[in-house]
Structure 1
Amino acid sequence: MVPRNSAAHLGIRIQTARAAAGLTRREVVEASGVSLGMLRKVEAGERTPGDAVLEALARVLRTPPEELLGGPGRTNSRVHRAIPAIRDAIASYDLPDDGPVRPYRALAAAVHATVQDRVDSEYVHLAEGTPALLGELFRAVDQAAGAERQRAAHLLALAVRSADAVAYKYGHVDLSGRLVELMRWASRTAGDPALAAAAAYVRTEIYFASGQLATGLRALRQAADRVPPPRTPRLAAASAALHMRAAVVAGRMGDRTAARDHLAEAGRLAAALPERLYDGTAVGPDSLQIHRLSVAVELGDPRDLGAAVGAASTWSPPLSLPAERRSHYYIDLGRAQMQLGRRRDALDSLRTARTIAPQHVREHGQVRAELAALVRLDRGRDHQLLAYARWVKAV
């Protein structure tokens, strides 16, 4: 992926905005006073324009200069308004305020509802409801002892993971890092190796955000080594999830051998598991199938991509899978179709993803990248495509 705020990133943003406006380079040059040579170099990522040039281009493209520089803006103010409350809730996790704590069964039901909101990409509801629940769970852990404290910590870890989904998806990477560490603390307090593996799975977000893929892959392998032998479905699922994510990371790194080895190990572990959520992660044969497509997309081999896209004609994610996972399948299918030059099919797949989990799609960086590419290729002629791209702030 092109780093944000780089000359290449800015060039792509300007190309996309020009295509969305239906303007040729010559038309932009005539309206802005910027030379054709300068515009070509800027769009190619070979030059970073000064303030005067950027402002002239932005005026013609009818786009704020800061949006060209920084990329997509914020898409849902209700989520962002809730972020400070999440920050406040976790600030005193080990010194919670006094207050009521519901019985375990009621707390468990509330936590499982947040898990369902997360996997269904209901981020607004999740963001607004999580802070109060976190505060109550901190009190539950603080007031309990022994096995009861471990049970409360288990619920806390799942709730923190749900809060992290909001922080990470909406670009609050610093908060996401704090929440990941808090999930790890809760899993240690729970004394549960399967839960610790789930925390390691989520921790990979930190390495995705920073581009430290080799470190992320090493962390996943170490976490997989620490999981006890898969004598229970939860332990088998914990290991399978780590290997599925490791396969995607290795694929993004271009390490074909490692990606396939991790997929094979995940397949061995997941084959006998019923498809369902294990500690908040969907694991089973269907999830494995979706990860096969993800790895093919990351590796970019035309033969693997062709096989994966061909498989999509006879298989689709069942409705029993969480909405986010089904949506992600169609996002990756669209990416595969784009790499194979099947632009109309790619757009259809991205539209399907939107119908399944709109909030997930709207915050997905790869969706923005694919729609921006489609706009550039289409040159702004398809108004429905343009409306979709503007909805996700790809232009």
Structure 2
Amino acid sequence: MRGVGSRIATARRARRMTQRDLADASGLSHATVRSVERGARRPSDGTLDALAAALGIDPSRLLADGGRVVGKVHAALPALSDAIAAYDLADDGPVRPLAELQSAVADSERWRLGSQYVRLAEAAPALLAELLRALHRAPAPERPVVARLLVSAARSADAAAYKAGAKDLSARMIDLMRWAVPQTEDDLLASVVGYVRGEVFFAARAHEPGLRALESAIDAAPSVSGPTVAAARGALHMRAAVMAGRAGRTDRAADHLAEARVLAQHTPEGIYAGTAFGPDSVRVHELSFAVSLQDPGVDQALAIARGWAPSRALPPERRSGFYVELARAQAWGNRREDAFESLCVARRIAPQHVRGHAWARETTGTLLRLSRRQDPALTALAEWIGAI
């Protein structure tokens, strides 16, 4: 209990809030906040959610054990599946004004980029159902706008499904996006969906067909006419490089990385059409490609990370992913203490992402097996991540 209370207090102080400020913002009593922070009272799920919302963070950031988080994401998956089951048929439910829908979709994108999968999973079913109703009812001039919102919301929902291991549901979300894209009247979104679709091939370990799909999306992408289009093409090249590496096509991987570097030279790091791209993102993917080579890529991966770390401008998921992959290379290179530290850094950045990451779990298990002494910190990490 003390650990949760301490994290709440730390998050509150970082936002320069008093206990009374937090009580007012969360709708709880001052006495409740005070007792939770000092560990005298165990917060209920509702209390924890209210405090997290007032602090502007996901509840998982306040928890030492991610079990409740995983359970809450999985609990939302059936409703998410139901919401898109009849995507081509309208129902008679309510639809909010367009401005409110835009705000709700922006929240979902922010949660996706911040690896806040609990919020995503809980909000996505109702939002997707509402957007589908809105799309079917929208007058012709508004349909492209609503369709773009639907693509964004489906992408966010897909992130929660994919990270929870619901690969079939993730694939259905991508099919929904591909169905909606022609209605957006936006050629760029086809490139965005092509990028997201790559995860289906990663999940199936179908790297050769995945590479073909990504290269087809690159060929169909609009010509570069500004940073947003450059970022969309660059993101496809980054993902194609990693896919090529896992397919054993190192020459094509090198070509795709070279193209991504060129596009990143004139594209400042940022979020473009919902995807991070820029020089830092390319470097993260260079490390990912090196790791895809396994043992032969260890020295290359370690050299990329030497004296460099991804900036905070990157979304938490991408930053944490960098450290998860670095830990994998460090473990292969017999740098076990460094690998453990990298996993701890990744966990601090995006705990939900790390807890659901197969490579993070695998590397932790490897470190545990190779440990020559009882290490309470490593054991605690292994228990948290589900490696034991």
Q: How many angstroms apart in 2 are the aligned matches of 1:145 and 1:222?
A: 33
Q: How many angstroms apart in 1 are the aligned matches of 2:190 and 2:139?
A: 20
Q: 1:301 offset after TM fit, Å?
A: 5.8
Q: How many angstroms apart in 1 are the aligned matches of 2:202 and 2:373?
A: 32
Map Cα deviations across residues 9-56 of structure 1 (whole Å, 9 max, x no partner): xxxxxxxxxxxxxxxxxxxxxxxxxxxxxxxxxxxxxxxxxxxxxxxx
Match of residue 168 from structure 2: 174
The residue type equivalent to 1:275 in the other structure is E
Task: Tell whether the 8 Å contact from 1:75 to 1:393 is kept in structure 2 after alignment.
Answer: no
Closer, same or farther: CA 74–225 of 1 in aligned 2, 3 Å: farther
Q: What SS does the corresponding residue of 1:247 show, helix, strand or coil?
A: helix
Match of residue 97 from structure 1: 91
Higher relative contact order (CA 8 A, sep 6+): 1
Closer, same or farther: CA 296–226 of 1 in aligned 2, 3 Å: same
Closer, same or farther: CA 371–380 of 1 in aligned 2, 3 Å: farther
Q: 1:113 offset after TM fit, Å?
A: 0.9
Q: 1:232 offset after TM fit, Å?
A: 2.6
Identify which range, 73-82 or 324-333, moves more after superposition: 73-82
Match of residue 85 from structure 1: 79
Q: 1:274 offset after TM fit, Å?
A: 2.0
Q: 1:171 offset after TM fit, Å?
A: 1.3
2:189 is aligned with 1:195 = yes
Closer, same or farther: CA 380–108 of 1 in aligned 2, 3 Å: farther
Q: How many angstroms apart in 2 are the aligned matches of 1:311 and 1:261?
A: 18
2:274 is aligned with 1:284 = no
Map Cα deviations across residues 206-234 of structure 1 (whole Å, 9 max, x no partner): 11122211000000000100012111322
The residue type equivalent to 1:84 in the other structure is P
Map Cα deviations across residues 58-83 of structure 1 (whole Å, 9 max, x no partner): xxxxxxxxxxxxxxx99711111111
Give the fraction of aligned pairs with identical amino acids, expressed as a percent.
52
Greater radius of gyration (CA) = 1
Match of residue 373 from structure 1: 366
The residue type equivalent to 1:289 in the other structure is R
Map Cα deviations across residues 68-124 of structure 1 (whole Å, 9 max, x no partner): xxxxx9971111111111011111212132233223222112111111111111111
Map Cα deviations across residues 332-363 of structure 1 (whole Å, 9 max, x no partner): 11112112211110110010000000000000
Match of residue 337 from structure 2: 344
Q: How many angstroms apart in 2 are the aligned matches of 1:109 and 1:255?
A: 42
Map Cα deviations across residues 277-299 of structure 1 (whole Å, 9 max, x no partner): 12211011111111111111112
Q: How many angstroms apart in 1 are the aligned matches of 2:87 and 2:359?
A: 34
2:207 is aligned with 1:218 = no
Q: 1:235-314 residue pairs with structure 2 within 5 A?
A: 235-300=229-294, 302=296, 305-314=298-307
Q: 1:318 offset after TM fit, Å?
A: 1.3
Q: What SS does the corresponding residue of 2:115 show, helix, strand or coil?
A: coil
Give the TM-score of the pair, scaled to structure 1: 0.78
Q: 1:155 offset after TM fit, Å?
A: 0.7
Counterpart pick for 1:165 among 156, 159, 166: 159
Q: 1:314 offset after TM fit, Å?
A: 2.3
Q: What SS does the corresponding residue of 2:100 show, helix, strand or coil?
A: helix
Task: Tell whether the 8 Å contact from 2:283 to 2:304 is kept in structure 1 after alignment.
Answer: no
Q: How many angstroms apart in 1 are the aligned matches of 2:139 and 2:202?
A: 36
Q: How many angstroms apart in 1 are the aligned matches of 2:212 and 2:380?
A: 41
Gapped regions of structure 1 (runs ≥ 5): 1-72
Match of residue 233 from structure 1: 227
2:354 is aligned with 1:361 = yes
Match of residue 16 from structure 2: none
Counterpart pick for 2:378 among 351, 372, 385: 385
Map Cα deviations across residues 217-252 of structure 1 (whole Å, 9 max, x no partner): 000000100012111322211111111000001111
Give the TM-score of the pair, scaled to structure 2: 0.80
Q: 1:275 offset after TM fit, Å?
A: 1.4
Q: How many angstroms apart in 2 are the aligned matches of 1:210 and 1:139?
A: 32
Q: After the TM superposition, which parts of structure 1 deviate over 4 Å for at least 4 consecutive aligned residues? A: none
Closer, same or farther: CA 234–146 of 1 in aligned 2, 3 Å: farther
CA RMSD of aligned residues (A): 1.7
2:122 is aligned with 1:128 = yes
Task: Tell whether the 8 Å contact from 2:295 to 2:332 is kept in structure 1 after alignment.
Answer: no
Q: How many angstroms apart in 1 are the aligned matches of 2:150 and 2:328?
A: 36
Q: How many angstroms apart in 1 are the aligned matches of 2:285 and 2:257?
A: 8
Match of residue 319 from structure 1: 312
Q: 1:307 offset after TM fit, Å?
A: 4.4
Closer, same or farther: CA 79–212 of 1 in aligned 2, 3 Å: same
